[in-house]
Amino acid sequence: MEKYYVNKKAQSNGDHEVHVKSCTWFPSSENAMLLGEFSSCADAVKEAKKTYSKANGCWTCCRPCHTT
């Protein structure tokens, strides 16, 4: 299980990216919202979409869940 976070600040395309803490692109602490512990990024993105409809996995740390 890994802890996942969502960036509260949207990217230029409107996506709120989901990250793990060790990611190079992890947002600043004021922009990181803990989603919880999940066994996959798919579950973390699903959780993030409850708050941000345009949630997406980070290309670097959640590549299987990166769609745009």
For the segment 30-42, what is each residue's pLDDT rounded down to a tens digit?
A: 999 999 999 999 9
Helix ranges (H only) for the chain are 41-48
For the segment 3-28, what is each residue's pLDDT rounded down to a tens digit?
A: 999 999 999 999 999 999 999 999 99
Question: C-alpha angle with apex 19: 48 to 32, nearest 5 degrees?
Answer: 70
Structure confidence at residue 68 (pLDDT): 80
User: Comparing C-alpha atoms, which of 27, 26, 16 is closest to residue 52?
Assistant: 16
